[in-house]
Structure 1
Amino acid sequence: MAAPGGAPAIHRSVANIRSPPGPSSSSHHHHQPHHPSTPSRSVVVPSPNFGSPSSLRADEDVIVVDFGTRKLQVGFAGDAAPRGCVWFGPDQQRRVGDFRDWHPDYKYDWRQAAGMWGWGRDHELWQGGDVRGTDLGLIGDKIERALREGFTKYMLIDSRPRRMVCVFPSGLPIPMLSAALDSLFSRFQPPTISLLSSPVALSVGAGVRSALVVDLGWAETVITSVYEYREVKTTRSVRGVRYLVDQTHKLLAKHLPDGSAAKSTDGAEEEEYKLSFEECNDIATRMVWCKPSKAPAATQKAEGLETLVEQDESENSAPSAIQRPGRVEIPLRSCRPPTTLNLPWEELSEPCENAFFDSQYSRSGFDDHELPLDLLVYRSLLQLPLDVRALCMSRIIFTGGGTNVLGLRRRIFDDVSEIVRERGWEAVQGKAFDQMRANPKIKRKGARQATGGPTGVASPSAENQEADGVWHDAANTLPEVDPIEEQLKKGQDKRPRVQGQLRAIESIGAWSGASLITHLKASTVSTIDRDVWLQHGAAGASKAADVDQKSQRQSLGPGGLLRAANVGTSWTLGVWGTG
């Protein structure tokens, strides 16, 4: 029933509940507001909690932060992707009131910055696992500035304390982890911070419980074996994306004209950079590519019939002339004077070949910390137990900045497949082992032992059994059916798991995996209370074996609140505090 005067009833107008009256309202049809207005938060940050009448009782927003060597990703828990990504660079190291970047005559001097910080060091949050000479206070300041930029620029939220979930690399040293947590607790006041490791979050993002995570990171390549959401083994190599950028600089500096290359006065070879880090990094990201594997085409043949390319039969089927490799023009503006290089396309694959493989050298000439990536992946799988290896080799996840190099993931996968085809899973290698394995006498002896197995024991005949029928053969009796076991088997997934074959899978990322874990309210590796951290710091953490898991559970049942009151009394740093 309409209200008197033609105006709609207040309790029937949806616009009066969810938004201010618009032009469709008859009462404001001739009086439209002309002043600008700020849109509501639901337009900027869409959330399902703000579209229902129970929004006042909605859970508070949980912020998920993914820490990397060169960038930081922030967003809300439950979202599919982060709201923003903040890259570390020289712009974040300006003092308050330094507006030189907006001066028309100002130009960034990368040579002076390279002499002060090191070539490209001002683009990093931390330098791998080396804490010698590291300014931990500077790390905390960088984290604070990056988070404030992410909150105000991408997330559009205030400085109200919110719970945080932080994703850190599992090999991060405790001093750097402590500096990051000190900065978060003292400057953003979150009530609790939950810690997650990057490999586990990546496995959750891929939808698997076990995986082999190959992180082609900035400072190094880290391979982590995850089995049932637990990190089993970690191996690493110094071959990272930074080494790729260095090799790109060497390639470009080699082709510079003589006038722009400064020559050293003494005979010693000094590493002098002719190009800026930003320019070399951009070229390495856009133009460097990886050569395909040299494995025979028979091993890469797919199942099924071959696909024929449709073509006009009237065209000449004669083989076309061999085309010369194309050339690429690369403009360089950071050298003196600026120039343009004309390089063959094939030479742009040399930085990737030298940085990640070094195929011109023998496999036995590398140390354990500088293994090529294909050999590193093979040895990581070889050192795993048999059941863990069978699952991890079928769930290989490539992540990190090195995955953006064209053809690198395919090259690593094909080379590992070729090594497995040649060597198998034998830990011992060499000429003597090959000769022993090829010895016909040993082969005949092994075949004789395999065929001549133990003989079975004949079961007693029915004549020897007792006449009353009480006694029976216990060894051949079928077990009784347990109804509880039958119910448990019905709830299990009976689909066969893929294992025992090399296979690469995709993941939506560590941040998205952590967002999914938080949204499902699953328990994290470690949860740290703010008051306990400010009182004790990292020294107050207990070992994982000393923490009572029952006391960490919270519920609304009898005694649940009493147990929840003592949550912060005993806590652990998870994989970061195993020492």
Structure 2
Amino acid sequence: MANSDGDTGGTSELLRGIAALRRQLSSSSPITTGASPSFASSPLLSPTTRQQYTDPPVILDIGARGIRAGIAGMERPVCEIPIGPDLRGRIKTNVLWDLDARNTSIEDVLDILQTILRDVYYKYLLLDGKSRKVVILENPMMTLQLKKAIAFVLFNYFQSISVTYMLSPVGSMLAAGARTALVVDIGWHETTVTPIFDYKPILSATRSTLRAGKRLHDLVSRTLKAFTDAIPSFDEVEEFIARAMYCSPVDLSTSATTSQQAFAITLSGNTYYIPSSETRHKPLIQLFLQRAEDNVDDIDDFPIHDLIVSCLSGLGIDTRASMLSRIIFVGGCSNIPGLTLRILEEVRNCLAPDSAGGDSTDLYLQKNFRPWTIGDRSRIKAITSLGAWTGASLYISRERDHLLNGTGAGAGTIRRIRAETASGISHTASSSFRILGEVERDLFLLDKNYADNIFDWTISTKYR
């Protein structure tokens, strides 16, 4: 009986403690920690809207060869999922989309996105898609059809609240700690050069070329086939590019001893014997730096250093001067050792008056671009960026702090779209950064005109 009475007394005390805790929680303020009373009690924001802004959104960097995903505020993505055939047979290709829309099946793109994003949400992020907004990092050359397909998957299969598109060059610039830069993205399908001045992308001066990762992959694959009897797989070619290739700061074609060195390399368990080390650097020079023999290149086929010169030539003097020392290289191929240094050296040779090219270089520039020169070669420099995803995470966390602290202009600022700054991010007195073009789920699914026109920056602002 003594033990029973003791247990009964302890239980009663525990129940009284729980009741007191419940009364304390019910009488406490529902204001979110860190939020000011003016924001939490604002009549313009319903509890559902407040919850949407307090939860950091999901950031997706969707590329042709892989997807990076994570939650805003983190320093790096939670997962980086490459696109390639899986053991279950759900994905049968190595690329999400093809540059030629005629070779791209939207149904396949939707299936691949649905498969990968399901792993992103339920395996890595452990989130329900209905509870978070989504920010998509887009390349300036991303097609409207692809942007609409991404939104369709997020809205229909994952029930996302909203989808917001943000230019990836802006994210790369923010991750470098700059507000003005020239972003060179050496991607899979295209190499894109995007000038950004005071957080505003100048899309009219953006240039692109087809000399990118896909053509390098095809060139290296043909080279390896010529030296070996076996046919290298897609993964073996990519591994060779990542492990063996490099770009020298000077031309090695005149060095006979270096070019004749043979080597062996093991790729995915298969050993390849390469009779000449030219295979390690010659494809890079041939693809990214070599000009056409007739000195006239196609508009989509310029070497990267000439593409940079062409982009800078289309800018004003004051805008161009601030970008010369802030060139940012991003993209998978930019990680090849020595490639960015060689491109910078070629740009210096094009723009410096004492360039080694002499009259032939000037003739080439006069034939293709508006020529101009600089006096100091050392002004052309590159800065390092942590990547577009990290820059977007930095921006989102900063904007979220503004909203929670009540220092911004209110909830409507994140959806405000200004026609004069429709190329990217607006710069106002209330906030230095702005996301442009938030697409709401209900309007996208119910209004066909809204769904067809919201992603096109050239149309009227009727649907924005």
Return the TM-score normalized by structure 1: 0.58
Match of 1:243 among 198, 215, 220: 215
**Cα distance change on mapping 1:500 and 1:246 into 2, 3 Å:** same
**Cα distance change on mapping 1:207 and 1:323 into 2, 3 Å:** closer
Amino acid paired to 1:86: I
Q: Contact conserved, 2:171 with 2:389, CA < 8 A, in 1? A: yes
Offset from partner CA, 1:263-314 (integer Å, 9 cap, x none): xxxxxxxxxxx2211111111111011121359xxxxxxxxxxxxxxxxxxx
Offset from partner CA, 1:180-218 (integer Å, 9 cap, x none): 111111111112111101111111111222211101111
1:51 Cα deviation from its structure 2 partner: 12
Q: Which residue of structure 2 lines up, in the alignment, with residue 561 of structure 1?
A: none
Distance 1:94 1:376 in 2: 40
Q: Contact conserved, 1:293 with 1:414, CA < 8 A, in 2? A: no
Q: Where in structure 1 are there 5+ consecutive unaligned residues? A: 18-48, 97-112, 114-121, 261-273, 296-321, 435-498, 548-569, 573-579
1:324 Cα deviation from its structure 2 partner: 9.4
Q: Contact conserved, 1:137 with 1:179, CA < 8 A, in 2? A: no
Match of 1:205 among 164, 169, 175: 175
| 1:73 and 2:5 are equivalent in the alignment | no
Q: Which residue of structure 1 lines up, in the alignment, with residue 96 of structure 2?
A: 125
**Cα distance change on mapping 1:51 and 1:93 into 2, 3 Å:** farther
Q: Contact conserved, 1:213 with 1:398, CA < 8 A, in 2? A: yes
Distance 1:143 1:218 in 2: 18
- Give SS of 2:275's match: strand
Distance 1:223 1:408 in 2: 16
Question: Which structure is larger by alpha-carbon Rg, 1 or 2?
Answer: 1
**Cα distance change on mapping 1:540 and 1:383 into 2, 3 Å:** closer
**Cα distance change on mapping 1:134 and 1:93 into 2, 3 Å:** farther
**Cα distance change on mapping 1:394 and 1:339 into 2, 3 Å:** closer
Match of 1:525 among 419, 432, 436: 436
1:239-388 residue pairs with structure 2 within 5 A? Answer: 239-257=211-229, 274-294=231-251, 326-331=261-266, 340-358=272-290, 362=293, 364-388=295-319
Q: Which residue of structure 1 lines up, in the alignment, with residue 415 of structure 2?
A: none
Q: How many residues are paired up?
A: 370
Q: Which residue of structure 2 lines up, in the alignment, with residue 30 of structure 1?
A: none
1:323 Cα deviation from its structure 2 partner: 8.9
1:364 Cα deviation from its structure 2 partner: 1.2
Offset from partner CA, 1:373-412 (integer Å, 9 cap, x none): 1111112111211111111222100000011111000000
Amino acid paired to 1:283: F
1:96-175 residue pairs with structure 2 within 5 A? Answer: 122-128=93-99, 130-175=100-145
1:540 Cα deviation from its structure 2 partner: 4.8
Offset from partner CA, 1:498-549 (integer Å, 9 cap, x none): x9921211111111111111111253111111101111243353867854xx
Distance 2:96 2:381 in 1: 33
Q: Which residue of structure 2 lines up, in the alignment, with residue 391 of structure 1?
A: 322
- Give SS of 1:366's match: coil
Distance 1:133 1:167 in 2: 23
- Give SS of 2:135's match: strand
RMSD over aligned Cα, in angstroms? 3.7
**Cα distance change on mapping 1:225 and 1:500 into 2, 3 Å:** farther
Q: Contact conserved, 1:78 with 1:516, CA < 8 A, in 2? A: yes
1:326 Cα deviation from its structure 2 partner: 4.8
Identity of aligned residues (%): 27
**Cα distance change on mapping 1:423 and 1:382 into 2, 3 Å:** farther
Distance 1:343 1:409 in 2: 27
Match of 1:90 among 85, 94, 110: 85
Q: Which residue of structure 1 lines up, in the alignment, with residue 385 of structure 2?
A: 507
Match of 2:353 among 422, 431, 434: 422
Amino acid paired to 2:214: R
Q: Where in structure 2 are there 5+ consecutive unaligned residues? A: 1-5, 22-31, 38-46, 368-376, 400-432
- Give SS of 2:207's match: strand
